């Protein structure tokens, strides 16, 4: 993999980064990582971005951690509550200070983590840190504010209901999982969302258990100086007490047979077909994980045989793509497509099976594998050109492992993957007993 | 407060000789530390140039360049060649502008460059590509836009409603029958007419050298000559009173958009004043938005509430204003994200009432100062990448600005005064003559309520502070005068047909 192109890419990217610790992996910026006594992980990544800083707080709690019945969607709802302020800086004051600083402050929630991100001017770093450390340690809101925010979350749910992809996601997860919390989407079950206004007390316990320093990775990227920044972090976050209580997530029993489901979407859509297989927990040193990442794009990417056949030549589908990324616990490898003719859905499904069979029967060529590795590398490197994109692209890695050393490790593992590994993981994971097929059709 | 300046940008506007008597317009943005090269070719054509009956032709032509075969390579071969670089190129079409753009790591520039230039100079216009792309465009109009995102549907319908009878009216993707009627010969003719060396402005950013600029210009000089005629700026009919379009759809929540045409664009003397006013009222996807504070924060009615003085396509996907959607005529619009159907009348009243308060009373000194302070740093986030800054630079050319809009932005904000800002609000904003679009269920009931100006008391599932409830009483009876002849109800299936 380390052909001349890769070396040049690395050299070019390294050529403009700030001076720092020598660093030999693919990740182009030297960085400082430190774990405070209370377990808070701090990562400071200086990069050229005059005057701009990105401030990411990655809470390693997402909808995966919603293990108690009736509380699906709570991690996302809680993300909203984090903007309601503290006794020292109530929500309106927090908003006003952020406005004064012209900061771009927002947040999102996923299955594995919740991410709070702020784009700010360098001169405001200490003020932002004071505000952020305050709300993560001392969040305070009354029941009235809590109930009002539940209305906004309900509105968010309603706006996304119009999409057939939402309908699909709900059905796919509920079919593929029977015990693990990956059964529900991040926004949660409707009845749970509607019951949220009654969960004020629970919300306080959620904060106490999950919003703790040892469950959080703080990433500060951009026009910053590592030593001074880490000193500031110690000043503002050093008093924060440990207290993380891990969720009691039921393991998913091994799937012993194919599952099939169908759902009708009330608007109009071309039929959507998804074929999903039970996936893997992320580990940056696991060759199987690296091989699956590569296999997804090799088998279903824009240069795959099935893409050429179904999208370009025969034009039977609008698109086809795959997501074979790993999660904190084993989740799904999913192939998505949109079929132009409802009568062709089963045939397209069989084409997907055949495409997988081809990778199981015969090892991919070394050349194709090398090309895929190059694509994976450049896709990653090309998207690291602003502090926000650097932090944004690292957030999931930080959430899955608690740090970002895994990036270099994963790319090193990519180099170890052989054509035989690709064939082996295709045989091992993409099997019918671990498969869930879901179709969505509209009211055509 | 001291304004923060963007990093100094060596932004150059050049006229480069291209081997003939004509010179190409070139905008360069050298950034030596950026290991990539960004290209943006602006062709002065957009959906306003779609021939009548062929609406969607500009978009389909651009796709046939950016997402299809060339004479040298099939589409499959192009994908194969781009793949190891993880690079690509794409097209963006708006009412007046078409951008063919791409970005590549400098290691791969040579191989990439050939593909990019061939796409622009030697598109193959093959039947198979045409069938594929046309089918995608139709699917977008027939299904995605009508059924799968009520907010985009509402905003597209508002644009169509406000600019009815002008070349801005139809969606960039076209109208369903029109797209169906487009032939490959239409695409060829459209390409010949508008993709000329006299109709392009070249944008180059990143770590390129002079030889590269010369080479690109030499190659683009192989485009044919021709200065295509352009339509006059659209003159939408004046709006009298409140005119309402209700789109009947089986939905649990109602998406609301309203607004009116706006005469001022970048470069106009009131532009920054109006930008500040609008930022206070409805900064896009920011909780500092006043509408957001009133409708979402205090009342929990929906997910967000924003306003605009420039077109902002793809608003639900973008955090900051897009570039290269510049227009000679703009619109002011308010975007109320979906509210429960039973709260739709109330939400509309609440938003219009806030607009009225703004126009009638202006901003307070405190609101003015806070918003100015906000904008002088917030603008730093608008264009952090070379590609995005290049987009802004091309927009500067479009608007004929003799200064860099982004670089000078904080200076202009600093120079504003409260009386100026409030005068600009009074001059350009109003609340009596507007077009309103609501995507909703049981539109007839809403129509009756609107015509009767019936009270719309708000009921909450959860308790609210007394001050909110008191204000609600005023909002519930706020007068929105709508005459019955000014309300149309259409079914969603009737949208985007000729």
A 205-234 near B (Cβ less than 8 A): none
Encoded tokens for B200? 């392009």
Long-range contact set of residues B310-318: C-beta below 8 Å, sequence gap at least 24:
B310/B265, B310/B266, B311/B94, B311/B95, B311/B159, B312/B284, B313/B94, B313/B172, B315/B151, B315/B155, B315/B284, B315/B285, B316/B149, B316/B151, B316/B152
Strands A216-222 and A114-121: unpaired
B221 CB-near residues (< 8 Å, 6+ apart): B18, B19, B20, B22, B24, B197
Q: Return the SS3 of B375.
A: helix
Residue B26 phi/psi, 5° resolution?
-130, 135
- CA atoms of B47 and B182, how far apart (whole Å): 14
A269-323 pLDDT tens trace: 999 999 999 999 999 999 999 999 999 999 999 999 999 999 999 999 999 999 9
Q: Look at residue B9 and tell me whether its pLDDT is greater than 70.
A: no
ipTM: 0.89
pLDDT in tens, B161-183: 999 999 999 999 999 999 999 99
User: B23: distance to nearest CA of chain A, Å?
Assistant: 33
CA pair distance B29, B31, nearest whole angstrom = 6
Contact A147 B462 (CB under 8 A): yes
Tokens representing A281 are 């927990």
Q: If we measure between CA atoms, which residue out of A339, A342, A344, A343 comes closest to residue A320?
A: A339
Smallest CA–CA separation between A245 and chain B, in Å? 31
Residue range B87-98, pLDDT digits in tens: 999 999 999 999
Is residue A209's pLDDT more than 80?
yes
pLDDT at B461: 82
User: Each residue of B415-430: pLDDT tens digit?
Assistant: 999 999 999 999 999 9
What is the full DSSP assignment across B461-492?
Answer: SS---HHHHHHHHHHHT------GGGEEEEEG
The closest alpha carbon to B265, from B398, B423, B94, B359, belongs to B398
* Phi then psi dihedrals of residue B55, to 5 deg: -60, 130
Distance linking the first and last C-alpha atoms of chain B? 53
Bridge-based pairing of strands A435-441 and B88-93 is unpaired
Nearest to B288 by CA among B374, B381, B394: B374
Closest CA to A330 of A179, A170, A166: A179
Q: Considering the entire predicted model, what is its pTM?
A: 0.92
Residues linked to residue B12 through DSSP beta bridges, in sequence order: B28
Contact A311, B132 (CB under 8 A): yes
Sequence-separated (6 or more) residues with CB below 8 Å from residue B345: B446, B449, B450, B454, B456
Check A385 against B386: CB less than 8 A apart. Answer: yes
- Chain A residues touching residue B250 (CB < 8 angstroms): 266-267
CA distance B302 to chain A (A): 4
Share of chain A above pLDDT 90, in %: 87
Q: Given pLDDT bands bounded at 50, 70 and 90, which one contains residue A23?
A: low
Whether residue A11 lies within 8 A of chain B, CB to CB, comes out as no
3-state secondary structure of B69: coil
Per-residue pLDDT reduced to its tens digit, A48-95: 998 999 999 999 999 999 999 999 999 999 999 999 999 999 998 999
| pLDDT > 60? residue A394 | yes
B85 contacts A374? CB cut-off 8 A: yes
Phi/psi for A121 (5° steps) reads -80, 140
Tens-digit pLDDT profile for residues B56-85:
999 999 999 999 999 999 999 999 999 999
Q: Count Cβ atoms below 10 Å from residue B240 Cβ, excluding itself.
A: 10
User: Among A204, A175, A206, which residue's Cα sits nearest to residue A72?
Assistant: A206
Q: What is the pLDDT of residue B2?
A: 36
* Cβ separation A102–B83 shorter than 8 A: no
**HSE (CB half, 13 Å, CA atoms) of B80?**
12
Tokens of A361: 């029967």
Q: Which residue of A has its CA nearest to B284?
A: A104
**pLDDT, mean of residues B203-228:** 96
- Which of A319, A354, A342 is CA-nearest to residue A441? A342
Counting one residue from chain A and one from chain B, the pairs whose CB atoms sit within 8 A come to 205
Minimum mean pLDDT among A41-50, A161-170, B81-90: which range?
A161-170
**Is A7's Cβ below 8 Å from some Cβ in B?**
no
């Amino acid at each position: 993999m380390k052909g001349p192109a890769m070396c040049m890419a690395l050299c070019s990217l390294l050529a403009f980064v700030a001076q720092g610790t020598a660093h030999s992996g693919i990740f182009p910026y030297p960085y400082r990582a430190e774990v405070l006594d209370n377990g808070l992980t701090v990562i400071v990544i200086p990069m050229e971005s005059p005057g701009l800083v990105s401030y990411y707080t990655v809470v390693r709690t997402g909808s995966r951690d919603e293990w108690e019945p009736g509380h699906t969607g709570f991690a996302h709802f809680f993300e909203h509550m984090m903007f309601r302020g503290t006794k020292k800086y109530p929500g309106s004051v927090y908003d006003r200070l952020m406005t004064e600083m012209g900061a771009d402050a927002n947040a999102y929630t996923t299955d594995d983590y919740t991410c709070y991100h702020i784009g700010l001017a360098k001169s405001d770093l200490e003020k932002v840190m004071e505000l952020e450390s305050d709300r993560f340690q001392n969040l305070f809101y009354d029941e009235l504010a809590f109930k009002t925010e539940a209305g906004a979350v309900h509105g968010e749910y309603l706006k996304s209901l119009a999409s057939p992809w939402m309908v699909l996601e709900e059905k796919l997860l509920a079919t593929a999982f029977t015990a693990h919390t990956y059964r529900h989407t991040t926004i949660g079950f409707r009845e749970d969302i509607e019951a949220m206004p009654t969960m004020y007390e629970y919300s306080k316990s959620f904060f106490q258990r999950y919003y703790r320093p040892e469950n959080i990775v703080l990433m500060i990227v951009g026009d910053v100086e590592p030593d001074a920044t880490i000193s500031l972090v110690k000043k503002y976050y050093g008093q924060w007490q440990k207290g993380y209580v891990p969720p009691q997530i039921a393991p998913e029993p091994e799937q012993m047979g194919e599952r099939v489901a169908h759902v009708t979407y009330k608007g109009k859509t071309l039929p959507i077909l998804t074929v999903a297989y039970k996936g893997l927990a992320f580990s940056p040193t696991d060759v199987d994980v690296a091989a699956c990442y590569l296999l997804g794009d090799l088998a279903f990417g824009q240069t795959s045989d099935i893409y050429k056949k179904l999208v370009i030549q025969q034009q039977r589908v609008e698109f086809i793509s795959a997501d074979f990324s790993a999660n904190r616990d084993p989740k799904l490898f999913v192939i998505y497509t949109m079929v132009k003719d409802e009568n062709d859905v089963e045939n397209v499904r069989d084409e997907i099976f055949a495409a997988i069979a081809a990778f199981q029967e015969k090892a991919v060529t070394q050349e194709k594998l090398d090309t895929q590795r190059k694509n994976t590398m450049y896709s990653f490197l090309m998207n690291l050109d602003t502090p926000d994109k650097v932090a944004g692209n690292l957030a999931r890695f930080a959430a899955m492992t608690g740090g970002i050393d895994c990036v270099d490790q994963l790319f090193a593992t990519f180099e170890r993957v052989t054509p035989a590994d690709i064939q082996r993981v295709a045989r091992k994971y993409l099997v019918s007993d671990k498969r869930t097929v879901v179709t969505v059709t509209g009211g055509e | 407060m001291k304004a923060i300046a963007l990093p100094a940008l060596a932004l150059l506007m050049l006229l480069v000789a291209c081997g003939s008597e004509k010179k190409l317009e070139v905008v360069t943005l050298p950034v030596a530390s950026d290991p990539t090269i960004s290209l943006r070719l602006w062709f002065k054509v957009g959906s306003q140039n779609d021939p009548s009956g062929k609406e969607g032709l500009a978009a389909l032509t651009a796709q046939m360049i950016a997402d299809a075969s060339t004479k040298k390579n099939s589409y499959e071969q192009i994908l194969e060649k781009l793949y190891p670089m993880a690079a690509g190129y794409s097209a963006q079409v708006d009412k007046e502008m078409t951008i063919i753009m791409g970005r590549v790591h400098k290691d791969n520039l040579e191989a990439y460059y050939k593909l990019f230039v061939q796409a622009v100079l030697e598109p193959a216009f093959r039947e198979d590509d045409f069938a594929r792309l046309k089918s995608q465009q139709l699917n977008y109009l027939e299904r995605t836009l009508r059924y799968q995102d009520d907010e985009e549907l509402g905003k597209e319908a508002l644009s169509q409603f406000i600019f009815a009878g002008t070349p801005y009216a139809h969606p960039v993707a076209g109208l369903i029958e029109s797209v169906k009627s487009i032939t490959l010969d239409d695409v060829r003719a459209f390409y010949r007419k508008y993709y000329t060396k006299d109709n392009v402005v070249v944008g180059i950013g990143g770590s390129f050298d002079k030889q590269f600029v010369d080479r690109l210009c030499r190659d683009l000089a192989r485009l044919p000559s021709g200065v295509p005629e352009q339509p006059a700026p659209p003159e939408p009919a004046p709006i009298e009173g409140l005119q309402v379009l209700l789109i009947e759809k089986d939905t649990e929540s109602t998406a609301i958009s309203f607004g009116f045409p706006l005469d001022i664009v970048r470069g106009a003397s009131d532009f920054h004043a109006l930008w500040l006013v609008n930022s206070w009222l409805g900064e896009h996807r920011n909780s500092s938005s006043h509408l957001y504070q009133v409708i979402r924060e205090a009342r929990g009615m929906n997910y967000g509430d924003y306003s605009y003085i420039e077109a902002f396509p793809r608003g639900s996907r973008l955090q900051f204003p897009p570039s290269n959607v510049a227009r000679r005529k703009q619109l002011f619009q308010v975007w109320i994200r979906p509210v429960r159907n039973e709260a739709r009348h109330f939400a509309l009243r609440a938003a219009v009432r806030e607009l009225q308060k703004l126009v009638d009373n202006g901003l307070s000194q405190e609101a003015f100062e806070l918003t100015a302070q906000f904008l002088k740093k917030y603008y730093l986030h608008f264009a952090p990448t070379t590609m995005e800054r290049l987009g802004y630079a091309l927009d500067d050319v479009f608007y004929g600005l003799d200064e860099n809009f982004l670089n000078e932005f904080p200076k202009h904000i600093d120079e504003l005064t409260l009386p100026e800002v409030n005068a600009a609000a009074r001059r350009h904003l109003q609340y009596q003559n507007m077009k309103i679009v609501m995507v909703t269920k049981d539109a007839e009931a809403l129509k009756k309520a609107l015509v009767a100006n019936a009270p719309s008391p708000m009921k909450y599932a959860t308790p609210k502070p007394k001050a909110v409830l008191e204000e609600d009483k005023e909002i519930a009876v706020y007068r929105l005068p709508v005459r019955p002849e000014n309300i149309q109800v259409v079914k969603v299936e009737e949208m985007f047909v000729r």
